[in-house]
């Protein structure tokens, strides 16, 4: 059976995976870009942007695992965009432009359905109103035997962890204190008992944690 994986998900010291006050100009709210500064210099991010160069140290070693072997992503609606409630504007096609970096089917969890959107480069956005297990079944089928990535945000990852559906998880702990936003770890008491956890720090100041299901 294919694996369910989380990659490159950043949290602050106080456990926030995104800040407060998401808006069109602020996908991560008041966190700004601070949760992801470790990622931008990596070769993986440069490649994603179609740019040469980039670092190839430990940050990139982790970052580069995001794509290979993944056949579909599941994300929460708040990762897809800042709108809440019924879609006032179906022109919104995500933060990522015409050619999003996913290049696979992407399943967006929402109570407000919309027609599927075909983007350039193989990314297809499907909108589904489903439990984590149901969404995973759909994503697995679409992934054609490859792995499924749970893309975030924090509450989506938390729901998949609570349902014990995640096999591998890479979390980057960023040494900042956000104080508000959405927490990743809430209500996941003794999560560590279900995983082998490894930690490795990077010269960037970030610590990469990997959780591997026992």
Which residues make up the interface to a copy of itself (CB under 8 A)?
Answer: 13-15, 173, 175-180, 183, 185-192, 197-202, 205-207, 209
Least gap, CB of 32 to a copy of itself (angstroms): 11
Q: At its nearest, how many Å lie between a copy of itself and the CB of residue 189?
A: 3
Q: Which is nearer to a copy of itself, 12 or 104 (CB)?
A: 12
Cβ proximity to a copy of itself, 26 vs 117, nearer residue:
26
| Distance in Å, CB of 201 to a copy of itself, minimum | 4
Q: Of 13 and 24, which CB lies nearer to a copy of itself in the complex structure? A: 13
- Give the nearer residue to a copy of itself in terms of CB position, either 89 or 193: 193
Q: How far lies 159's CA from each of 97, 132, 142, 166, 185, in Å?
A: 28, 7, 21, 10, 10
Q: How far is the CB of 78 from a copy of itself (least distance, A)?
A: 21
Residue listed under structure tokens 């010291």: 13
How are beta strands 195-201 and 70-76 bridged, if at all? unpaired
Report whether 131 contacts 98 (CB < 8 A).
no
Query: Per-residue DSSP letters for 83-104?
Result: --SS-S-TT---TT-SS-S--S
Provide the residue count of the chain.
214
């Amino acid at each position: 059976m294919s694996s369910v994986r989380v990659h490159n998900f950043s949290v602050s010291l106080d456990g926030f995976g995104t800040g407060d006050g998401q808006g069109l100009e602020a996908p991560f709210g008041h966190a700004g870009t601070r949760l992801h500064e470790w990622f931008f210099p990596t070769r993986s991010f440069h490649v994603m942007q179609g740019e040469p160069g980039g670092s190839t140290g430990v940050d990139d070693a982790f970052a580069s695992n995001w794509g290979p072997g993944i056949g579909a992503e599941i994300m929460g609606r708040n990762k897809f965009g800042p709108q809440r409630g019924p879609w006032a504007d179906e022109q919104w096609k995500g933060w990522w432009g015409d050619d999003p970096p996913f290049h696979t089917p992407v399943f967006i969890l929402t109570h407000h359905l919309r027609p599927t959107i075909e983007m350039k480069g193989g990314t297809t956005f499907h909108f589904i109103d489903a439990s984590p297990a149901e969404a995973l079944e759909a994503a697995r089928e679409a992934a054609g035997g490859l792995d499924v990535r749970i893309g975030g945000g924090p509450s989506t990852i938390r729901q998949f962890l609570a349902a014990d559906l995640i096999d591998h998880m890479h979390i980057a702990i960023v040494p900042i204190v956000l104080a508000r936003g959405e927490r990743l770890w809430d209500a996941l008491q003794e999560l560590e008992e279900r995983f082998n956890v490894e930690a490795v720090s990077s010269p960037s100041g970030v610590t990469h944690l990997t959780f591997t299901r026992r």
